[in-house]
Amino acid sequence: MTGPVQGKPPEGKPLAGKVAFVAGASRGIGRTVALALAEAGASVAVAARSEQEGRVPGTIHAVAQRITDAGGRALAVPCDVTAEESVEAAVAGTVKEFGGIDVLIANAGVLWLGPVESTPLKRWQLCLDVNLTGVFLVTRAVIPHLRARGGGSLVAVTTGGVGMTDRGANAYWVSKAAVERLYLGLAVDLRPDNIAVNCLAPSRVVLTEGWAASGAGREIPPEAVEPPEAMAAAAVLLARQDASGITGTVQRSESIRR
Ligand code: NAP
């Protein structure tokens, strides 16, 4: 990397000239969101841990390549959202390459829907580390860069499970509930900086690689499934916001577009 890319931003696209950092972009929803942000004109930092194909398909390099093959601008950035130094390095590398950051999609997540009594401590901690501390770390790292641009948009991917208290409790829903509290408060803190802060969850289940690997998707009827493109379109809409637009909200992919 030799400094900010000086290429001309695509014209006539809603996110032309913007830079988006997508955490958890090697597969699943994050991959589709990254592709959609690039299609909307953003330069995209494709951030996650997978640099080589493993048990679950998808790498940051393949996603970045797909974007550049389509004429967009992308940077594959290795990033473990649970590790402070890794996050700081990924954000610094993005700023060095693209000159700043305007949008964060904090999408990296792990699933654990088991009941509380049979949840190993390490599963509980993994959920909190990735889903909550990971959002905290990437958000904290990008805020100064959005402020330097005069505004921007922070989006954390959560889940409708936060509100399903009638279905009991698990580490996953608890971690996502905490993220919603974090972001709703942050929307107030960052309003003077012209930064929109919102949460976004699928309206229905998205049958991603991660969902399939978890074994949780076997009994989902077709009408309860939505394509990842619904989250991508909603993420692009939220990425376009600043504090004068939609902020301090928890959105669902299908209802926000209506
Ligand atoms: P997925 O297919 O398992 O993808 C998860 C992504 O998170 C991958 O890119 C993975 O990349 C990344 N990730 C996991 N741990 C990470 C870490 N420590 N550091 C950096 N990246 C990490 O999951 P998905 O279904 O697309 O879910 C995406 C988001 O949507 C999650 O936050 C999930 O909770 C939320 N969500 C999904 C659904 C659904 O129906 N699928 C419903 C509600 C909410 P690496 O493994 O390469 O690091």
Ligand 1 lined by 211 (C-beta under 6 Å): yes
List, in order of start, the domains of the chain with CATH numbers.
19-257 (3.40.50.720)
Whether the CB-CB separation of 249 and 183 falls below 8 Å is answered with: no
The preferred substitution site among 107, 127, 174, 176 for testing ligand 1, maximizing ligand atoms within 8 Å of CB, is: 107
Q: In the chain, what percentage of residues exceed pLDDT 70?
A: 94
157 lines ligand 1 (CB under 6 A): yes
Cβ(159) – ligand 1 distance below 6 Å: yes
For ligand 1, mutation pick of 44, 110, 254 (most atoms within 8 Å of CB): 110
Q: What is the pLDDT of residues 158-214, one digit of tens each?
A: 999 999 999 999 999 999 999 999 999 999 999 999 999 999 999 999 999 888 877
Position 223 pLDDT exceeds 50 = yes
- CA distance linking residue 248 with residue 182, whole number of Å: 10
Please state, rounded to an integer, the average pLDDT across all residues of the chain. 94
Residues labelled catalytic: 172
pLDDT, position 170: 96
Helix axes 228-239 and 28-39, enclosed angle (nearest 10): 50
Enclosing H/E stretch for 74 = strand 73-78
Write down the pTM of the prediction.
0.95
